[in-house]
Structure 1
Amino acid sequence: MTYPGAENDPTSSPVNEDMLAVERRRKEREAEYGVWVASQTIPWGTVNAFTAGMKVPASTVQRLKWDELGLVVKRDTKAGREVLERTGTAEPAELEKWAADDKAAAERARQQAAANEQTSAGGATTASARKSGGN
């Protein structure tokens, strides 16, 4: 990989075109296989082309409209998470992200519950004060 301005640095090593091509191909493959996951077994003729949790090429999903048929789901959706967790095919980065998301959601729920409890406790005190002092 090169850095911005490296082409102007006389001391830098020359750019390895083969490594750049490999990196481009890796990014293309990641874009092709990194979006969709099979939500169920997908048959192709008499064999199973994909089983639940397998990565499915985006070009295949677009061409055969498997998303409209419900055969695939996006990895980053709730349904995708459920499939990946159920099949055990989630990647470590996804597991870490979900753990952080779950922790943040639990903290928000705890704060909301505390705020609701304060509001309801404050409202009960105010209501009882009105009853005793208002009449």
Structure 2
Amino acid sequence: MHALGTHLLVELRECNPEILKDLKRVKNALVSAAKEAKATIVDISFHEFNPFGISGMVVIAESHLSIHTWPEYSYAAVDIFTCGDIIKPEVAASFLIEQFESKSPSIVELKRGILSHMNEKLPHKITEPELQSVS
């Protein structure tokens, strides 16, 4: 079974709440996680909520990393979606578990883009002529 991408749903429970409410640390952690996984960063956007909580996204050429923090519950929800098989999303997940000092993390892995009519490994990018031959 071949897929276009891997999507990790990362539950970070029992984190250090001081880190989760620090915009600079949260942003640096996600950007560094993308770099650790050897991803190509395209754009970065973060927002700090009042009284607390941060949402952010690191758009990568291979898809994205996103986070939503609830420091009042010592919890963060992280999505790591990568296309192709070069980037290792599990490296980014492990890095974030350490950075947020999560004592009770969990990871659910989903394969995305499983196309039943395709029996061979799929490239995550194809050219227009290749697209015509697939149709």
The structure carrying a bigger strand percent of its residues is 2
Q: Same fold by TM-score, threshold 0.5 exceeded? A: no
If the TM-score is normalised by the length of the shorter chain, which range does it land in?
A: under 0.3
Q: Which of 1 and 2 has higher RCO (CA within 8 Å, sep 6+)?
A: 2
* Structure 1 length-normalised TM: 0.24
Higher helix share: 1
Tell me the TM-score normalized by structure 2: 0.24
